[in-house]
Amino acid sequence: MPVKQQAVPGAPYWIDLSTSDLGSAIEFYDALFGWRAERGDGDADHVDFTLNGIPIAGAMQKELDADYPDEWTPYLLTHDAASTWAKVSEAGGTNAFEVMTIPGVAVMGVAADPSGATFGYWQPLEHPGFGVIGEPGAPAWFEVLARDYAASLAFYERAFDWTTEVESDTDEFRYRVFANGGEQLAGIMDATWLPPGVPGYWLVYFGVADVDAAVASAVHHGGGVAQPAADSPYGRNAELNDPTGATFKVIEVGGVTRSGE
């Protein structure tokens, strides 16, 4: 398995699912990706998913009265969460709460960028983040769909020191990638086509060996298809929903594991 290289500040470091049905999520992602759920002592509302014993993602049971949808949230690496909290505000983002310390795990926060896309930031204590990338069942790419492309791009460059490269700059497809030392780490897409009232959002891609088989498996186990499987220059991919509506993408791995669709 390709192991995640030394983490770059500002790059996705961990991912977490907020779900209204934790039991259903455990069964679904086990069937789809072969993940195993591990609970801490006395923690009935949170699990860490592992793939072959390697940390992959977390999942948290939502409060019953939560007013936000079930969703996957990427956490961007920071070495100083308190400083990042301030930079997020200064750059035009909105922090959801003061930074929180999870003993022995991380100091973290959750925020929204100027387009409304929710993300987290993560100052690791003893938690290693996801340990594998670009393999079946592991994260493969991350991108933010921005209603206000210029404002969101400026936000990540200021709040997380992103250096970006132009992938495409046409009215049909405007996309930049966050890169470091020749490694592409995340993308940002101009998504002015989002329906009125729909905020921007982050998409997490998971690698699979066969996208069509993964789509069939997701549907068989109670999920849905938001965008059917299609070929792209970056790999065949599809957008799926889990049984409670959390959206994610799957992409065939083995080549370049990112997508600009």
Domain spans, the chain = 12-124, 139-252
CB 187 within 8 A of CB 143: yes
CATH of region 139-252: 3.10.180.10
CATH topology identical between 12-124 and 139-252: yes
Q: Give phi and psi for 238, each to the nearest 5.
A: -150, 155
Cα distances from 85 to residues 36, 82, 119, 209, in angstroms, run 33, 5, 12, 38
Residue 152, H or E segment: helix 149-159
Q: What is the pLDDT tens value at each position of the chain, 261 positions in all?
A: 344 555 899 999 999 999 999 999 999 999 999 999 998 766 779 999 999 999 999 999 998 777 889 999 999 999 999 999 999 999 999 999 999 999 999 999 999 999 999 999 999 999 989 999 999 999 999 999 999 999 999 999 999 999 999 999 999 999 999 999 888 999 999 999 999 999 999 999 999 999 999 999 999 999 999 999 999 988 999 999 999 999 999 999 964 333 333
When computed from its CA atoms, the radius of gyration of the chain, rounded to whole angstroms, is 17
**pLDDT of amino acid 19:** 97
Domain 12-124 has CATH 3.40.50.300: no
Alpha helix ranges (H) inside 13-118: 22-33, 81-90
pTM for the model stands at 0.93
